Amino acid sequence: MRVNTTDTIVAIATAAGRGGIGVVRLSGPQAFAIAARIAGRLPAPRMAALRRLRDAQGATIDQGLVLCFPAPASFTGEDVVELHAHGGPVVLQWLVDAACGHGARVARPGEFSERAFLNDRIDLAQAEAIADLIDAGSRAAVRAAQRSLDGALSQRVRALADTLLELRVHVEGALDFADEDIDWLADATLHARIQALCEDLQRLLADSGRGRRLRDGFVVALAGRPNVGKSTLLNRLAGAEVAIVTDIAGTTRDVLREHIDLDGLPLTLIDTAGLRETEDAVEREGVRRARAAQDRAELVLFVSDAGECLDAADEALLRDLRADLLRIVVHNKCDLHGLVPARAERDGLVHLHLSAATGAGIELLIRELHRLAGFDERTETAFSARARHVDALRRTLGFVSAAKARLGEGANAELAAEELRLAHEALGEITGRVTSEDLLGAVFSRFCIGK
Ligand code: GDP
Ligand code: ZN
């Protein structure tokens, strides 16, 4: 898809505030003409030249570098000019005003990236990766966003889309030739291919889940009876005093959150009030919020005292957790009971003995959190992904699985073809191959101006 945008847009591309250098970027058919009005003679493409930058009245705004990138080999795919001036807000705004005086218009948020997308310079997942790169909160997140920008997610999505297309051709072919003797749907390779597609989708879904966690973090709720050491554990993981630690049961009345970077894994820790029935109104409110916080969590750290067995109430609490919640049982205060840090698995549940107070065994917990968040050596090849991508992949997998079922016993090629079409559509949302105005609006409006 190649669009002809007639407007030339302009925006400050660097961060707000003062800096040694600030960049004003222009993109569109008039970019060179407008830049020439401001800077005089333009340098050769991709060569920097120092120029006096003037407003429409001829007053000098600043001296700075001018760089020209002719279409189509530019970020947006249009003629692009960068004016590198001194990074004062008044200087940069004056340059923007001068460009507007010569016919440019101020860019909407994300409009440069949107044009890059519309001109096929990048796909939608890559455009999102640019925003993720800028917003990255850790080096691991930077590396992951970089990989998405390089097309790590897009390439896999495109390969799956190609496979889906072949399958659609095959199944729709079966519909067209339904009267003939050859039974296209009985083709054993068809079933093998659709099965392989399901497995590839599952793998990509798992990797994207990891990528999403790199971007959005992993939400962990601390639960357990009062005084078992939840706040102490939160402080230990966060490496700072954030929660109130006391030995009066029920002091953590509010829900405390802490965003931490646990060796590359962005974690949101929620310390919840002891989940117990209480008469105290303030504490009751805390308990209510604790339950709400747990609704948002992906993993629950269930803390107990290593010296005590889990009682019936604990067992009930554990059992009542949302089925899809990951969980780890922490037997805390092992120092107090003369126990050594250890890891054990019982009934598919991981139990850790450690001491939040002394820090003994904390590395076991960190390793376990990394493992459950899907963070391991593979993180080195992780790409950033968004909830939107994970959702699209989940729907794609649902449609492909439905198609597989339709091609099984008592095959119905028509319904299978429709499921495959829907799968193709859902998958296409990720890279923007299949787009709607709504989707584009939703993606690009969250960018800041100048991106
Ligand atoms: P919470 O109510 O579950 O948040 O428990 P706190 O974190 O407030 O801890 C309650 C008490 O247990 C405090 O006096 C802590 O110092 C103590 N405590 C917490 N963790 C440990 C531990 O690992 N070892 C020992 N000996 N004491 C601990
Ligand atoms: Zn507490």
pLDDT digits (tens, 9 = 90+) for 52-69: 999 999 999 999 999 999
C-alpha to C-alpha distance for 268 and 143, rounded to whole angstroms: 20
- pTM of the prediction? 0.71
Give the bridge partners for 332, in sequence order.
305
Kindly state whether residue 166 falls inside one of the protein's structural domains.
yes
246 lines ligand 1 (CB under 6 A): yes
For residue 286, pLDDT over 70 is answered with no
Kindly state whether residue 440 falls inside one of the protein's structural domains.
no
Phi, psi of 135 (to 5 degrees): -90, -5
Amino acid at 274: G
Residues 342 and 276 in one domain: yes
Kindly state whether residue 222 falls inside one of the protein's structural domains.
yes
Residues 103 and 15 in one domain: yes
> If you count them, how many residues does the chain have?
451
Kindly state whether residue 446 falls inside one of the protein's structural domains.
no
C-alpha to C-alpha distance for 362 and 16, rounded to whole angstroms: 41
Residues 91 and 170 in one domain: no
Kindly state whether residue 443 falls inside one of the protein's structural domains.
no
Nearest to 428 by CA among 380, 394, 402, 393: 393
Residues 114 and 160 in one domain: no
ipTM exceeding 0.95? yes
Give the environment of ion ligand 2: residues with CB less than 5 A: 230-231, 252
121 marked as binding residue: yes
355 lines ligand 1 (CB under 6 A): yes
332 lines ligand 1 (CB under 6 A): yes
Residue 421's CATH number? 1.20.120.430
For residue 192, pLDDT over 60 is answered with yes
Ligand 1 nearest atom to the CA of residue 332, by list position: 23
Q: What is the pLDDT of residues 71-117, one digit of tens each?
A: 999 999 999 999 999 999 999 999 999 999 999 999 998 999 999 99
Where among 123, 152, 182 does a domain terminate? Answer: 123
Per the CB < 8 A criterion, the answer to whether 286 and 273 are in contact is yes
In angstroms, what is the span from residue 279 Cα to ligand 1's centroid? Answer: 23
For residue 4, pLDDT over 60 is answered with no
More confident residue, 326 or 37: 37
Residues 265 and 406 in one domain: no
Domain that includes residue 271, residue range = 217-380
326 lines ligand 1 (CB under 6 A): no
Closest CA to ligand 1's atom 22? 333
226 lines ligand 1 (CB under 6 A): yes
Percentage of the residues of the chain whose pLDDT score is greater than 70: 82
C-alpha to C-alpha distance for 242 and 328, rounded to whole angstroms: 22
